[in-house]
Structure 1
């Protein structure tokens, strides 16, 4: 079930909200149980075959967590190792078995039959959420052990399919708080407004940009210069607004239940270095990789060279987490190299007058954006050959034909001795809203305040949000003007929901 579907908006969500608050007036634990069951139904709606997998994972990990807490000190490490191996083994089988077999076959080392394994939706997110829980049980940092709250913590439908990766210490106390079982007008006003803004990002922006992306990144497409740049920019902002939309919608939905989620997206294209980008993009995953992988590898404690090694390893594994394919490995490795270059540059240029120049933040932001955009080419391409083809096309390797629409101006080029080809932009229909929407998307991403900044007075997330200084200031308030604006936006989204479009992060 999609957040941007009629079944979710007009059936599932009203029924779940009504049941939650009706039961919450009688017993808070009943409300938590209802929400957990509703979340399991939400998951089963995708593919009921994998509901037993999710429920078994919840039960086994809950039992392992309790065993870790109760075990003698000498047995706690073996318990943790066994539980982690079980979780990672499950993830490896479903997500990487096909990739492994295909790779072995491609090397000619064997000719194994490719298994027909369907990736369970959300397995990466609920696996990482539970790994963090197990590690914290081992460290003695877990204080809440009720099964109903744990089951809800893992299966909670606003985050289950595409994150954020939740932390038990943030969520379990909120699920146990009886005050969250009472319907509050403030929660509904803030939650619905944030949800509508997220829905608009998905339906009105990301989905309208999408038609420019597929043809450019298709295997064997061989786009020319202008096509490659338009397709790459389109994907760069399609992914941005698609993920931003899901993050907003998850936060808004959760607020309806009186629960705050962690911030997962914070204007990453405004970052002026690659470290800042990763502090703003998929923030919960970045924290997980830092806390449970980078630091576990040694972090920066063993010298600069080992720090660089740990950064590379962390990002390679982070890339592989996103998908079972060499394109994701290359993308992760590329970002690892970016981070190494950034930290080496910061070390070498410490105290340099260059970094204090007034123009440097703008230049650094532009360099960071271009680096991220080139990385997205590998992230989106069907295979490495297609990625290399698109990257070459961005440099003019496949030709520089002008758009066919400029054919009427050929005589102007002839007058200065030029005879360009006019067969470019083969797949982009300029009668659609794709190009204007892309232009609007770029302006919003670089210059507009993000949703959390707009709602900063009402604390939409667990983290404290501070309104950014400078630029365009837009502040939400519970007023008729904002109500009319959100209602108009919602109606526009409803009329725009004429096709089913999944969120891009569902496939990770």
Structure 2
């Protein structure tokens, strides 16, 4: 694990030198396992707890430990599971019998997650790739739609994997923690991080923020701890300047939000609080997705009306004309925004799993997923496989 962090640090340092001094220093092209950041964090938590002698009762037994680090549903892209929550389930007698209720829930969770991935995230992929991976100067509408599509793609892709992981684990009577709770409904940046990638937020809090002192050593130290925590959160995603900027942005936003609350400033109306939070998160995702700083500049110029407003001819020829049902594609973006704001998430829908009507809906989604798999034109791997 130490070697992994050394590798990320060296790779990031080289990227900084290449950018600042325009030097082409060689990168470390080392092939790393898929999802290495996720099980690395779980191992850090395990070793830290062993060192501090916390939760030792749940970590006994070499076989249980092996099951903990190799449990496949959450191994590649989370949720990041704590050993005290997972290992006791392995030797629970109640989990060693077939429980049809869990199998029912498992199927429904798996279908919902698969639907998020195949029917929504993958259908947004072509527009995202055009806006982020091409060298064309974007117009305002292209940058706006491209950023929104990536914001939605990332959520449905990642939360879809989490739902599938929860469903897969339930087949074995193992309950994994929920990782998302309607994050794009958040009314503040602090609320967003209580809803987005919840297990990562908890890990950063318990193993970085609190050990640094948390909010127990004065205001300045609290702000510094927040900044360091999210700087590390950015580095965790990869050795790239864009990830570092993304982490710094969220760290500074949380500091400003804390100062705002401490000054007892006026409270924004719910709609404006949501719009401000969503706009910030959406712009931060642009930096997160960008491969280079020039890509960020491209989006910034387009979104600040330094370019033309309407769709360009290359966009129409590349994206619109090849798709005979493009109005339906545009309608998909509007429908996704409606789903995010006005519908319940997987965790809230769990209370409705008992109804036959909801089971029928999931069966229809399963059929649609099968049809999509028969014609996998835009099928993509999960985004978080790269971390």
Alignment TM-score > 0.5, same fold:
yes
State the match for 2:269 in structure 1: 360
Equivalent residue for 1:138, pick from 51, 54, 61: 51
| Partner Cα separation in structure 2 for residue 389 and residue 140 of structure 1 | 51
| Partner Cα separation in structure 2 for residue 361 and residue 493 of structure 1 | 36
| Partner Cα separation in structure 2 for residue 273 and residue 109 of structure 1 | 39
| Partner Cα separation in structure 2 for residue 270 and residue 112 of structure 1 | 43
| Partner Cα separation in structure 2 for residue 346 and residue 427 of structure 1 | 47
Equivalent residue for 1:493, pick from 364, 369, 378: 369
Q: Does 1:114 align with 2:35?
A: no
Q: Are 2:353 and 2:359, in contact at CA under 8 Å, matched by a contact in 1?
A: no
Q: Are 2:69 and 2:75, in contact at CA under 8 Å, matched by a contact in 1?
A: yes
Q: How does 1:11-410 map to 2 (within 5 A)?
A: 87-93=1-7, 95-108=8-21, 112-141=25-54, 142-143=56-57, 144-218=59-133, 220-349=135-264, 354-355=266-267, 360-400=269-309, 402-403=310-311
Q: Are 1:210 and 1:238, in contact at CA under 8 Å, matched by a contact in 2?
A: yes
Equivalent residue for 2:358, pick from 458, 479, 482: 482
Shift of 1:494: 1.1
**Paired residue secondary structure (1:124):** helix
> CA offsets, 1:52-83, max 9 Å, x none?
xxxxxxxxxxxxxxxxxxxxxxxxxxxxxxxx
Q: Does 1:441 align with 2:336?
A: yes
> CA offsets, 1:359-416, max 9 Å, x none?
712211111000100100100111111112112211112222x347xxxxxxxxxxxx
* TM-aligned CA distance change 1:221 to 1:88, over 3 Å: farther
Q: Are 2:35 and 2:384, in contact at CA under 8 Å, matched by a contact in 1?
A: no
Q: Which moved more, 1:425-434 or 1:164-173?
A: 425-434
| Partner Cα separation in structure 2 for residue 110 and residue 398 of structure 1 | 31
State the match for 1:504 in structure 2: 383
Shift of 1:221: 2.5
Shift of 1:126: 0.7
> CA offsets, 1:191-219, max 9 Å, x none?
10111011101100111111111111125
| Partner Cα separation in structure 1 for residue 28 and residue 127 of structure 2 | 33
* TM-aligned CA distance change 1:334 to 1:484, over 3 Å: same
Q: Are 1:224 and 1:424, in contact at CA under 8 Å, matched by a contact in 2?
A: no
> CA offsets, 1:304-361, max 9 Å, x none?
1221111111111101111110000000001111101100111112xx5x42xxx712
Q: Are 1:189 and 1:478, in contact at CA under 8 Å, matched by a contact in 2?
A: no
| Partner Cα separation in structure 1 for residue 271 and residue 148 of structure 2 | 19
> CA offsets, 1:401-445, max 9 Å, x none?
x347xxxxxxxxxxxxxxxxx887564326344322211111111
**Paired residue secondary structure (2:319):** coil
| Partner Cα separation in structure 2 for residue 111 and residue 390 of structure 1 | 25
Flag the structure with more relative contact order, 1 or 2, with Cα contacts below 8 A and sequence separation at least 6: 2
Shift of 1:255: 1.0
Shift of 1:92: 3.1
Could you tell me which runs of 5 or more consecutive residues in structure 1 were left unpaired when the two chains were aligned.
1-86, 405-421, 457-474
| Partner Cα separation in structure 2 for residue 449 and residue 321 of structure 1 | 30
| Partner Cα separation in structure 2 for residue 183 and residue 316 of structure 1 | 44
| Partner Cα separation in structure 1 for residue 43 and residue 314 of structure 2 | 53
* TM-aligned CA distance change 1:258 to 1:478, over 3 Å: farther
Q: Are 2:39 and 2:75, in contact at CA under 8 Å, matched by a contact in 1?
A: yes
Q: Are 1:125 and 1:160, in contact at CA under 8 Å, matched by a contact in 2?
A: yes
Q: Are 1:125 and 1:162, in contact at CA under 8 Å, matched by a contact in 2?
A: yes
| Partner Cα separation in structure 1 for residue 269 and residue 25 of structure 2 | 54
| Partner Cα separation in structure 2 for residue 241 and residue 442 of structure 1 | 11
Q: Are 1:299 and 1:307, in contact at CA under 8 Å, matched by a contact in 2?
A: yes
